[in-house]
Amino acid sequence: MPGLEIPGEFLRHAVLETVVPHSPALDLEGALTAALEDGADDLPSVLASIPQRSILFFDETLPVRIVLRLSDCTDVILKHYLPSLEVRLDVYAVDPTESVAENPTPTREVIFSGIVNTEEEPLVVFNEFEGEDGGTGNHVYLVWNIESFLKRPRNRIQHPSLLFIGSATLNPSESCRPVDPEDDYLPPLVPASTNMLQSLAGDRSLAHKDPFLPASRLLRVVPTAYSEDPIYNIQQQHGHPFRVVPAASARIRYSRLSSYTGIPTTVASLDFEVTPFLNCEVSFDKATLSISEGTLESMSNTPGLSLPLKCRPRDDVTLVYKLTPEYGPETNPSSTAMMSVLDISLSAVILLSDDCQPRISMEWKTNVDFSMALNPTFGGPSTALQRTNRPTSLSVSGQSPAATATRSSLRERAYSVTDVGVTISFSGPVSVQVGTPFSWGVFIVNRSNMPRKFALIVIPRRKRLDPRGHVARPSSASISSRKEDQVAEAVTDDNIVHAMQKSSVGQEAELISLSTDIRVGPLLPGTCHSTEIKLLPLATGPLHLEAVRLVDVNTNETTDIRDLPDILAEDQPRS
């Protein structure tokens, strides 16, 4: 196509910068035009007149402008290569106070990376000027808008700042190139290779077929030499670090009601606290909570706590919710693992000024454990009566001892609290079949104040041998003869040894574990993890494990958990 240059020359002498305007409603076209009329030449001086943000906030949705300046670009070239241009923005969390002497590899973490939507047309500003040689030239300014979410970095940074780096990549594709109806394969602006068999084109013996052999198949073709290598991508050379601080923090806590009810109830306290880094008000206008497999009831619907709320720095707003699980009529809450997922979504507006009001949003999921003891009103031990093996709960039903024993033998769930600040529960089927593997669900909650990493080891129960020893009893038939021959008495008779071996109890395990290596963690404080243990029953009747050993990988501290669900193994049904 006439007027088009080589693709690698499109970004020649291009400059890229990013702008974080103080006001999202800024008239950037008018600001660029005014700066150019005032005689600004290079791109940094053109953008210097635009007021930018002085402070940013984590969890903020921030509009960013990417400005690309092209040199000596015509309207035809711009329309041709613009669909093939990919513009990207990367936001880095850095610490500008770190020096190379203190840290040879400074902390640099990507918290956002996004590509500009190619369907949206950029803002285009043309500027023509007179060159030093008396000729005319032009600069073309392309401006894109991209929404970036400033999430919190995973690494701990002492003095965090954000660095915005833009980049542009030219990817010429076949769909963007003009199609020549006479040549479907040869790309434009590339000369065809010389035909080595051109001299045989007039040979009549070839039956009007022109032979063709390109020189590229025989010779090494040297591409056209340019004064500089072609450029297909550029990146912003320097970035201005913006200070960033957390505007607010949020957390949720749970507490169970002490009174006994048929269905356990949990009270959730949601705290929204404004940090002291601000010197303006914050409008807390959205708090949306939803729970799976349960109902949620707000207990903060009072005139003074209705959203939106105006908060000052260091203000702490607490919203209280009542969480109740949902169960079917056939479910027994005291014998099943009761967990639900709570979705939390918060949003607030920071009132910096009349023309700058950034919005922050927080979204996360957390598990709610509705598990509780059989009788939570049993309480702790009194000072007047102390028992060594005091049960954790008592049955509240008025059944007979036989019925209570039958019900306890059909326990599907066991709940234990360890001394290392970890809560672990097991749940599984009661009735299993011999030779058919089944699984126990394991749910672990780290309620300590430090990260934990565990290993689970299943210890099977084995039948113990009779610890009583035997007494050597010689055979009565050979006593008289051995005394006469002055022969010492035997330690024991062969008949006795054979009888003891025949009546000895074997060491076979009736319930074995198929999960050889179970690793859990690392679990941060307040987090949970679920896994499973696969077991194989080998005998009928009630089966038990000796214990499930919980090993702390960091300290090698072990805890044997013996409160486990009961198992009743039955024979396989006959076909």
How far apart are alpha carbons 394 and 373 in whole angstroms? 8
Mean pLDDT of 519-538: 83
- Does 575 score more than 70 pLDDT? no
Over the stretch 140-154, which tens digit does the pLDDT of each residue have? 999 999 999 999 998
- The Cβ of residue 205 has, within 10 Å, a number of other Cβ atoms equal to 5
Q: Which two tokens stand for residue 494?
A: 């062969």
> What top-level class would CATH report for the domain 7-179+228-243?
mainly beta
Question: How far are the Cα atoms of 105, 436, 512 from residue 573, in angstroms, in the given order?
Answer: 66, 12, 22
CA terminus-to-terminus distance, the chain: 80
pLDDT band at 393 (very low <50, low <70, confident <90, very high): very low
Over the stretch 289-338, which tens digit does the pLDDT of each residue have? 999 888 899 988 877 778 889 999 999 999 999 998 876 444 444 444 56
Max Cα–Cα distance, the chain, nearest Å: 142
Domain 409-465+508-570 belongs in CATH node 2.60.40.10:
yes
**Average per-residue pLDDT in the chain?**
77
Mean pLDDT of 65-84: 88
CATH 2.60.40.10 residue window(s) in the chain? 248-369, 409-465+508-570
Q: Taking the model in full, what pTM does it have? A: 0.56
Mean pLDDT of 89-104: 77
Question: How far are the Cα atoms of 86, 104, 127, 395 from residue 29, in angstroms, in the given order?
Answer: 22, 42, 12, 76
Question: How far are the Cα atoms of 30, 409, 484 from residue 266, in angstroms, in the given order?
Answer: 57, 29, 87
Mean pLDDT of 421-429: 82
pLDDT band at 569 (very low <50, low <70, confident <90, very high): confident
pLDDT band at 203 (very low <50, low <70, confident <90, very high): confident
Amino acid at 246: P
The region of weakest confidence among 6-15, 119-128, 370-379, 526-535 is: 370-379
The dihedral formed by the CA atoms of 182, 186, 187 and 193, expressed in degrees to the nearest 10? -130
Asked if 410 and 566 count as a contact pair (C-beta separation under 8 A), the reply is yes
- Does 194 score more than 70 pLDDT? yes
The region of weakest confidence among 16-20, 199-203, 296-300, 488-492 is: 488-492
> What top-level class would CATH report for the domain 248-369?
mainly beta
DSSP label at 462? B
Q: Residue 290: which of 270, 275, 309 has the closest Cα?
A: 270
**Sole residue written with tokens 């260091």:** 314
The reported pLDDT for the residue numbered 8 is 73
The reported pLDDT for the residue numbered 134 is 64
DSSP label at 397? S
